[in-house]
Amino acid sequence: MNSLSAKRMQTSTRGFTLVEMVTVILILGILVVGVSSFILFGTRIFVESSSVDQVLSQSRFAVERMTRELRSALPNSLRVNTDSLTYQCIEFVPIEASTTYLSMPIAPNATALMGTVILNATDKIKENQYIWIYPLTDSDVYNSARQKRAQIKTFPPLGEPPNLANQVTLTFMGSTRFAEASPRQRIYFASAPVSYCFEKASSGNELTLKRYTGYGFNVSQPTPAHMSSGVLMAQSVANVLSNSADLPLILTPSSLVNNAMVHLQPRFNVNGETFQYRHQVQVINVP
């Protein structure tokens, strides 16, 4: 083997020097730190944006659900109860059907067990349902002392004899006489009240929004503790109940010239940022 071949073999089998290895390790370390920082930053942005999107979605759904139900509320059935430390609730009775009555036992006429209304096959009426005629206050809705409410016992199947031209005779649970007649002969049908409550969460200062139903009619507006377990509608509500200027909802009662108005203004907090709804819901139904 000549000297040139030996020199080439020596050159081809030579390894990395210590300086080269340290340099490569440093470069790889810098690249790893840069890439990991980029990945962590992107992951944090994704998590935060997902949290914001979740709160936006649930808040939008809750406000839209409340708006739809409030618009279909029985006239003068809205009432609000606020505890500056723990909750604010709005209660109302969603209308399931409404129509015109033809004959009803109304003062000063005698009490009776039956009344006649006009109904279509699509009207959602059923046994044990309640009816109202000319409710002017929330007491007329929730308290039967001044007779504005009665309960249905039976009625003929819609579209079958003895119904004539959609005239249906309702039988009441007991002998009934309504206190006043409706100027437009309106009659409303509903089954149960509904409450939306902004409640202080078990931990922290934020509020949750829950929907309650199935607890029946009460003369005095019930508190969340006296209602059935509510359905969670939204979280991360940041309103302060002790601040009258920061309540999540305000009720403007109806008058002779104005319909009832609910001002929804829940404020939500997510990742240190706050956004607030300012939504007015007009209850368009009248007695």
Work out the pLDDT band at 207, boundaries 50, 70, 90: very high
Domain boundary at 141, 174, 190, which? 190
- Indicate whether 86 belongs to any domain: yes
Q: DSSP readout, 44-79?
A: HHHHHHHHHHHHHHHHHHHHHHHHHHHHTBPTT--E
Q: Is residue 230 part of a domain?
A: yes
Q: pLDDT grade, residue 275 (50/70/90)?
A: confident
Is 132 part of a structural domain of the chain?
yes
Last residue of a domain, one of 155, 190, 225: 190
pLDDT digits (tens, 9 = 90+) for 113-155: 999 998 876 777 888 999 999 999 999 999 887 889 999 998 8
Query: From residue 123, how far is each of 95, 149, 157 by CA, in Å?
Result: 11, 19, 12
Tell me: do 102 and 181 sit in the same domain.
yes
Q: Are 139 and 202 within one domain?
A: no
Banded pLDDT at 193 (limits 50, 70, 90) = very high
Q: In this structure, what are the phi and psi dihedrals at residue 170, rounded to the nearest 5 degrees?
A: -95, 140
81 and 161 fall within a common domain:
no
* pLDDT at residue number 229: 84
**Domain membership of residue 253 as a residue range:** 51-92+193-283
Q: Is residue 43 part of a domain?
A: no
Query: Residue 1 falls within a domain, yes or no?
Result: no
Q: Both 122 and 262 in a single domain? A: no
Global pTM? 0.80
pLDDT band at residue 233 using 50, 70 and 90 as cut-offs = very high
Domain count for the chain, please give it. 2
Instruction: Please check whether residues 133 and 88 belong to one and the same domain.
Output: no
Residue 34 lies in a domain: no
Pair (102, 163) in one structural domain? yes
Dist CA 274 CA 214 (whole Å): 34
Q: What CATH number is given to the structural domain containing 139?
A: 2.40.30
Same domain, 128 and 201: no
104 and 87 share a domain? Answer: no
Tell whether 10 is covered by a domain. no
Tokens of 27: 């470069």
Shared domain for 232 and 175, answered yes or no, is no
184 and 199 share one domain: no
- Point out the domain boundary residue: 164, 190, 216: 190
Q: Do 78 and 112 share a structural domain?
A: no
- Span 35-59, pLDDT tens digits: 776 676 666 665 666 666 777 788 8
CB 235 within 8 A of CB 58: yes
Domain membership of residue 45 (yes or no) is no
Looking at the structure, tell me whether residues 237 and 117 fall in a common domain. Answer: no
Whether 204 has a pLDDT exceeding 80, the answer reads: no
**pLDDT tens by residue, 249-261:** 999 988 877 888 9
